[in-house]
Structure 1
Amino acid sequence: MHEHHYALDTTWRTLLRDLEIVPANVLRRAGLPDDLFQQPSARLAPEHYYRLWDSLEAEAADPLLPIRLCESLRSESFSPLLFAALCSPNLLVAAQRIVHYKTLIGPIGLDVTPRADTVTFQLTWLDTPLLPPTSLVLLELLFGVSIARMGTRELIRPTAVTTTVLPSSATPYEDYLGTGIQRGTGHSITFTLADATRPFLTSNEQLWSVFEPELRHRLASLEASATTAQRVRATLLESLPSGLPPLRPLPGSWP
C-alpha cells in the first residue's frame, strides 16, 4: 500500500518559467518552504499539494490554467510518466505503462478499458475524502489528449470526456479537446481504438528498456518507504496509552 503523496519533479520549474510565474510567490502563498522546488525527490501530502495548486491558480489568475500548462508542456520537459508515455508505441500502451507507475507521481488511479472500437481511461483519486481542485482534474484529462498529440503529431480528438464538476467556462476546454465535456459520476476520457493505437512518432523501445529499470527501482523504494511509514505509525499508536510524549519533527523537515 502506498502512502498518499504527490511528487514534485523538475517539470514544475520549467512550466512555471514558461508561464512567467515566480515560484517563490507560489510557495509563499501556500505557506511551503522556499526551497521546495530545489529539494530532490520532494513529495507532498495531498492537503499540502492541493494548497500548492490553489496558490498556483491564484498567482496565475487565469481560468484556463490547465490549457496553458498543457500548451507549455514539451517532450523535453523531464517527467517520468511523460517520458514513459512518449517512448511507447501508441497511446494505449502509454496508458498501460502509466497505470503501473502512476503512484510515482501521486495518489491517482487509472483504469484502461478497451472495447470493440473505443478505449476509455478512467481516473480515480485515492486520497478520499479529500477532493482534488477542479483545475487539477481538468489538467489530468487534458494531459491524456496532449500525450496523444505529442506522440502522433496529429490533432487527436477524444470522442467523450466526463467529469464530476464542469469548469465555469467549458467552451475553451471543449475547443481544446475538440469535443464536449459531460457531467458524470467520475472522470473519464474516451478515444477511438484507431486513435488509441495510432503509432507514436516518439516511440523508442530501446530507450524505454534502459529507463524502465529505474522506474521499477523507484516504485520498489516507494513501496518500501510506505511500509516503513505504516510500521512507525502503528508503533506510535500503540505507544499512546503509555503516556509517552509525541515525537517532534526535525527542524526543517516537511510532512
Structure 2
Amino acid sequence: MKLTLTQQFQDYLKSLGADFSVLLEKAGLPNKTWQEDIVLTDLEYYRLLLTFDDVMTEEAICNLSRIEHIQLFIPAFFAALSAQNGLEAIERFAHYKHLVGPIDLDIVSSDKTVSVHYRYAISELALPKFAILNEQLLLLNLIRVGTGERITPLAVSSPFDYAESTLLEFGVSVQKSNSNAIVFDKVDLEKPFITQNNVMWQYLELQLNHQLELLNRDNSFSQHVQQTLFSALPSGHFQIEDVATNLGVSVRTLQRHLSAEQTTFQKQVQIVRKAMALSYLQLQLSSEEIADLLGYSEVNAFIRAFKQWTGRTVSAYRKEIAAKD
C-alpha cells in the first residue's frame, strides 16, 4: 500500500511523541520520509503497527484518533463525514479502508444494533493494541463529529485492558475478550450528519475509486507469495514447488519474478515466519505451538531463528509483552 506522509502529518505525529523517522528505523524499514509517498507491503505495515504499539501511550493514541485532526490528512475520512448518516459513513469508510491501511472492517447489522469488528488484511496476524484502540476510537469520533453529538456505544470489547482515561473517552466499560468489537445503537447511526456534503462527495468519489483501483493493481509478486505462505506454512506444504503450483506458475517463473523484485523465496519464507511469530506471541501461544505453525520440525530451530530475527530471546520478548500489558 502507499502511505502518504505530508510534512504536516509528520509534524502532527511528532507533536504526539511519534517521530516517523524513528518509527521507521525501529521497524527496520528504510527511512524515506523525504518522499511524500512511502510504499509498504502488508507485512512492512504490520511491523510499523507493532512499532507504534511499542512507543505510543494510550493518551497519545486517543489524541491520534481525533477525527477533526486526522481528516486534514486522509481523504477517506472526508468521504465518510460527507455521508448522510453514520450507517452510510461506516459502509463508505469500510469500502475505502485499505487506502488508509490494510485493516478490514466486518460489519454485522441487526434490527437494533450495528457491530464493527476489526481484523488485519492478513487474517493470520493478530492486531496489536495500538491498532485496535486507534480504530475503535477513530470510528467513535467519526460518528460524534458527524452527528455533532457525544454518541456513546452500547458495548466495546478488546483483547487488551484500557486505562481509566480511555474508558471515559468511550463512555462505557470495555469487556475483555479474545476478539474486538464496538457496538452502536442503530438509532444513533440513523441520525443525520451535520457534516453531510454531497458536493465534496461527488468530487472525492471519483478520486478515491481511482486510488483504490491503483492499489489493487499494484500488488507486487512477492506480496502474492507472502499471502500464499501464510496459509501454506501451518499445513506443512510450503516448499517452493507447492507455492508455485498454488500461484499457477512454474518454479523458474516464480524465482524470476522474485529476483526482479530483488528478493528470493527463502527470504520471503523468513519474512512471513517472523511476522507470524510476533503475532502468535501476542496471542500467548507456546513456543511448541508456534514452531509447529511456522513449519519447524523442532522447537529449538524456531527459538534460534527468533533470536536471529529480533536479537532477543523468545522468553525476553514474552516478558516485554507482559510488562507492556
Distance 2:249 2:258 in 1: 10
Letter in 2 for 1:145: L
Letter in 2 for 1:111: D
Higher helix content, 1 or 2: 2
Deviation at 1:87, TM superposition (A): 0.8
2:185 to 192, 196, 205: 192
TM-score, with length taken from structure 1 = 0.80
Unpaired stretches in structure 1, ≥5 consecutive residues: none
**Greater relative contact order (Cα < 8 A, sep 6+):** 1
2:146 to 129, 147, 151: 151
Q: 1:92 to 1:232 in 2, by over 3 A?
A: closer
Match of 2:221 in 1: 229
- Over the matched positions of the two proteins, sequence identity in percent amounts to 27
Deviation at 1:196, TM superposition (A): 0.7
**What is the CA deviation profile of residues 178-220 of structure 1, one whole-angstrom value per residue up to 9, with x for unaligned ones?**
0111133432211112211112111101110111011111112
Match of 1:56 in 2: 52
| Count of residues paired in the alignment | 243
Distance 2:91 2:99 in 1: 14
**What is the CA deviation profile of residues 85-140 of structure 1, one whole-angstrom value per residue up to 9, with x for unaligned ones?**
11111111001112222222233222333322222222232313222211211111
Match of 2:175 in 1: 182
TM-score, with length taken from structure 2 = 0.64
Q: 1:113 to 1:243 in 2, by over 3 A?
A: closer
Alignment of 1:207-246 (within 5 A): 207-226=200-219, 229=221, 238-240=250-252
Distance 1:195 1:124 in 2: 24
Contact 2:66 / 2:138 at 8 angstroms: preserved in 1? no
Match of 1:88 in 2: 83
**For 1:172, what is the secondary structure of its paired residue?**
helix
Contact 2:10 / 2:19 at 8 angstroms: preserved in 1? no
Q: Which has the larger radius of gyration?
A: 2
Does residue 1:35 correspond to 2:32, yes or no?
Answer: yes
Match of 1:162 in 2: 157
Unpaired stretches in structure 2, ≥5 consecutive residues: 226-243, 263-270, 272-325
Contact 2:117 / 2:180 at 8 angstroms: preserved in 1? yes
Deviation at 1:20, TM superposition (A): 4.6
Deviation at 1:157, TM superposition (A): 0.8
